[in-house]
Amino acid sequence: MTLKDYSLKSKIFFFFILLLIAVQTVSFFTTRFSNERLEEQQLTSQLSQAETLLKNELDSRSYYLTAFVETAAKDYGLKQVLVEDTRSLLVALNNHRKRIDADIAIAFNNEGTIIGELVVKDSNQEIKRVSAGNQIKEKFAYQNFLNDESEQLFFPIDKEIYQLVITPLKNGDMIIGHIGFGYAINSRLANRLANLTGFSVGFGLENSGNWQWLVSEQVGLFDYSALDEPDSSFSPLSDNSRSTYIYANYVLGDVDKQSLTATTFQLRSNLIAAIKQDSVQLLLMIAVTLIMSLIGAYIIASGVTMPLRKLVSLSKDIAQGNYEQDINIGKTREFSQLADQFEHMQEAIQSREQEITEQAYLDSLTALPNRNQFYRDLPKVDNPFLLCQINIRRLSDINDTLGHEVGDEVIIEVANRLRSLSQPLYHTSGNGFLLRCDNETEDDIKECSQKINSVIEQSFNYQNIDLHLQVNIGVSTSDGWTQANQLLKEVDAAMQIAKRSNLLYQLYDRQIDQNTLDRLQLVNRLRLAIEKDEFVLFYQPKLNLQNNRIEEVEALVRWNHPVNGLITPDAFIQIADQTGQMAALSNWVLNKSIEQFYIWREMGLELKIAINISPENLLDDDFCQQLVSIFKSHDKLNDSIRIEITEDAFMDHDSKAVENINLLRKEGIYLSIDDYGTGYSSLAQLKNLPVQELKIDRCFVQQLISSDADKLIVRSTIQLSHQLGLKVVAEGVEDKKTLDWLISQGCEKAQGFYISRPLAADNFYTWLKQSDYSKNEEKQQVDGITSNVSTFNPS
Ligand code: C2E
Ligand code: CA
Ligand code: CA
């Protein structure tokens, strides 16, 4: 999946997620970092507070102690017992000691010897026991503290160190001795200071880099005994300890060249635990805000893309042609602008579509509804009607001679005139209109057509040209129609008939329809067929009955239609004739025959080929000229290619056909009268024609054996022809009896299925080679123009 496969919504959502994670991560680390710094600062300040408290406490203790000791030194009783009695001295000392709960009380004589000493031992911290010190009578080790001022020193006894204040006892100005009171620097004190400062407090002696703890039991939360363990060793002197502890040292004084130091400290791990707890809370908070933000992001992403999704669905609706959409995609300015634009677009599309639709159903020249509109309207019609296909006559002539501009004017004029009939009118093709005469029936056709004609035939003057407008009308009725398409075919077929028959109107007749339609289809294809060389020639032999040899064939054309297969000439010759394509077709046949003649000659087969030309061809001077020039361009072609012309070709027409026939004959072309007997000509009429051969139509030959009348006709025709110097061909020979009879009557040639059906060139060659008709190799006789009555030669 690539990025573009995700929806905009997902993308916005993912973007928010990334943004949130980034912001939260940054804020987490900043908060954490600043928390750590804050903690460090706080701790440092707490530490210095603790240090100050500790100093104050110790200072005020020493001040208080000094004040007490100096007051006690003024006690007369104490001065008295100092020199008299040790026991009394100890009692007096103890009385004073109790007043301040001192841990040590000590008295010296004026020689610096200890004369009284009381020490409080607190083995367990609850109960204190006062005992006499064991240094009595000993010289005091710190004689320099015994002067006439109050002095404070840290005094070690056994393993304890005492804060001791010593002051002189005076009689007047004379120093008679000294007394001192003090407190032990021990766990008890540490505990008190710890309570006061909120930090652990410890005491230790430092001697040139070595540290020795003075407290070794549980003090508050801190067990000093654990400090001796190697993994938690803590020396306030070592910087290594800074990573584990935070602490401050305060030097109280010297003890035998060692520094007595108070330390306030705290384990860093405690602090980190606190910070860690904060971090967990922070993470939790971040998680909660992240989830809430994600929900928010989802809502925003959905909200932002919702109008787009709405637009997408709207577009789909519009694409399906549903334009009645209420476009409401949000209230923000951008979206309402978008909605407005969308609505404009929707309207524009709708109106353009309408325009296009209108154009699709309208003819641009006449602004009349077109064939599509006719299809659309027809299903809605439920009344009977006459449908008229109205075509303008000779519009193509107008186009050709006066130009398309005039042609267009004619179409517009006809459209306007038909409009005036106020019936549903359609312009369906260049020169074709459809007029629906609603509620009219077959009985009204004449009246209807005349109404149409009355508006059309009024003279039309265009640019000083008087145009006489004419139409042909094909009519069909609404009863029995199945489909619009069918109806259109019907009126068109009827119109074609009206046009060809030069009628104003023609009612469609289902009987004639199929032929007409087939014909029309062929007409449309025929021109193309000539261009595309879709024709083939079949060859049917004419048997020379005098020598039983085949020296001549008739070329018969077939249309190899790409869809319908081989079509016989009966189906299209007439069409070619009527649509003016006969010349092209005959030319094709002639050329093809010449080609075939040479091919066979190459193959050692000398065969004359007779081609059929239509009566229309004989009236066509150009065609005949061309025919002559083709013959001229080939050497002795008139020996090889012969022409068959039906008898009606020159019977119905004027001298033109005769003129052309003479022209052909002058070229020495061999001519044959085809289908003799079917027309109204008599042999007497034919005798003036320059022809050499007569073909008796097959209708007289086919049933000849069983029909005496046919026998009579054929026999007399043969005889008369011979008298006129014409050779006779009998076509339609379908059996041996007929053939034999024809031979017995002196007929020169026979043609028919009994001998051979028309065959394609290759097939014909094969057939001929294996037939009896090619066995005889003696020189073939050429039918001479001058040859007369033939000799009967029963073979
Ligand atoms: P057609 O000139 O009289 O040609 C002879 C027709 O009779 C051929 O029909 C042939 O097949 C048919 N026929 C031959 N022997 C027999 C038989 O023993 N019994 C029966 N019942 N019929 C036989 P096809 O080929 O269908 O030609 C029909 C007509 O079409 C021709 O009559 C001719 O008038 C015309 N035609 C054929 N080819 C051409 C052509 O190239 N040009 C022109 N203008 N017309 C042609
Ligand atoms: Ca013929
Ligand atoms: Ca014929």
The C-alpha angle with vertex 703 and arms to 700 and 708, in degrees rounded to 5, equals: 80
Distance 644 CA to ligand 3 centre (A): 8
Bridge partners for 539 per DSSP? 555, 759
Q: Is the CB of 589 under 6 A from ligand 1?
A: yes
pLDDT higher at 467 or 750: 750
Question: Ligand 1 pocket check: which of 543, 612, 619 to mutate, most ligand atoms within 8 Å of Cβ?
Answer: 612
What residue spans of 501-567 are helical by DSSP H?
510-531
Q: Which two tokens stand for residue 171?
A: 């009689």
**Residue 21 CA neighbour count, 13 Å, CB half:** 6
Quote the CA–CA distance of 317 and 315 in Å, as a whole number. Answer: 5
The C-alpha angle with vertex 57 and arms to 54 and 61, in degrees rounded to 5, equals: 140
Q: Which of 31-40, 48-57, 436-445, 744-753 has the lowest mean pLDDT?
A: 31-40
**Residue 229 CA neighbour count, 13 Å, CB half:** 6
pLDDT higher at 777 or 151: 151
Q: Is the CB of 753 under 6 A from ligand 1?
A: yes
Structural element, H or E, at residue 252: strand 245-255
Percent pLDDT > 70 in the chain is 88
Quote the CA–CA distance of 204 and 215 in Å, as a whole number. Answer: 8
CB environment 227-248: b (16+ within 10 A), e (fewer): beeeeeebbbeeeebeeebbbb
Q: Which atom of ligand 1 is nearest to the CA of 568?
A: 26
Q: Is the CB of 612 under 6 A from ligand 1?
A: yes
3 state SS of 285: helix
Q: Which residue CA neighbors atom 4 of ligand 1 most closely? A: 556
CB burial class (10 A; 0-12, 13-18, 19+) of residue 49? middle
pLDDT at position 188: 80
3 state SS of 763: helix
Bridge partners for 549 per DSSP? 544
Task: Give how far the C-alpha of residue 776 lies from the chain's centroid of Cα atoms, to the nearest Å.
Answer: 79
Quote the CA–CA distance of 9 and 298 in Å, as a whole number. Answer: 8
> In the predicted model, what is the mean pLDDT of residues 650-658?
70
Q: Is the CB of 734 under 6 A from ligand 1?
A: yes
Question: Ligand 1 pocket check: which of 624, 704, 731, 734 to mutate, most ligand atoms within 8 Å of Cβ?
Answer: 731
Instruction: Please say if the pLDDT value at position 791 is more than 70.
Output: no
- Which residue matches tokens 């990025």? 3
Distance 612 CA to ligand 2 centre (A): 5
**Residue 604 CA neighbour count, 13 Å, CB half:** 4
> In the predicted model, what is the mean pLDDT of residues 331-339?
77
> In the predicted model, what is the mean pLDDT of residues 429-448?
91
> In the predicted model, what is the mean pLDDT of residues 458-469?
86
DSSP 385-429: EEEEEEEETTHHHHHHHH-HHHHHHHHHHHHHHHHTT-S-EEEEE
pLDDT at position 557: 97
What residue spans of 445-509 are helical by DSSP H?
445-456, 484-500
Quote the CA–CA distance of 201 and 189 in Å, as a whole number. Answer: 9
Structural contact between residues 541 and 768, judged by C-beta atoms closer than 8 angstroms: yes
Percent pLDDT > 90 in the chain is 32
Instruction: Please say if the pLDDT value at position 719 is more than 90.
Output: yes
Contacts with 153 (C-beta within 8 Å, 6 or more apart), sequence order: 142, 145, 164, 166, 253
> In the predicted model, what is the mean pLDDT of residues 179-201?
83
The C-alpha angle with vertex 584 and arms to 581 and 587, in degrees rounded to 5, equals: 145
Distance 702 CA to ligand 3 centre (A): 12
Q: Which of 316, 358, 309 is nearest to 335 (CA)?
A: 309
DSSP strands (E only) in 256-306: 258-267
Q: Reduced to 3 DSSP states, what percent helix, strand and coil does the chain have, rounded to the nearest 5?
A: 50, 25, 25
Q: Is the CB of 752 under 6 A from ligand 1?
A: yes
Contacts with 285 (C-beta within 8 Å, 6 or more apart), sequence order: none
Q: Which of 692, 689, 711 is nearest to 702 (CA)?
A: 711
Q: Which residue CA neighbors atom 42 of ligand 1 most closely? A: 612
What residue spans of 157-227 are helical by DSSP H?
187-197
Structural contact between residues 406 and 398, judged by C-beta atoms closer than 8 angstroms: yes
The DSSP output letter for 782 is P
Q: Which of 10-19, 262-271, 278-287, 738-747 has the lowest mean pLDDT?
A: 262-271
pLDDT at position 399: 87
Distance 501 CA to ligand 1 centre (A): 27
Distance 544 CA to ligand 1 centre (A): 19
Between strands 471-477 and 385-392, the pairing is: antiparallel
pLDDT band at 785 (very low <50, low <70, confident <90, very high): very low
Quote the CA–CA distance of 347 and 438 in Å, as a whole number. Answer: 37
- Ligand closest in space to the Cα of 751: 1
Quote the CA–CA distance of 47 and 197 in Å, as a whole number. Answer: 9
Q: Which residue CA neighbors atom 25 of ligand 1 most closely? A: 556
- Which residue matches tokens 């009939």? 421
Q: Which two tokens stand for residue 493?
A: 């077929």
Q: Which atom of ligand 1 is nearest to the CA of 589?
A: 41
Q: What's the mean pLDDT when you consider all of the chain?
A: 84
pLDDT digits (tens, 9 = 90+) for 531-555: 888 999 999 999 999 999 999 999 9
Structural contact between residues 579 and 526, judged by C-beta atoms closer than 8 angstroms: yes
Report pTM.
0.43
Question: Ligand 1 pocket check: which of 535, 536, 556, 749 to mutate, most ligand atoms within 8 Å of Cβ?
Answer: 556
CB burial class (10 A; 0-12, 13-18, 19+) of residue 496? buried
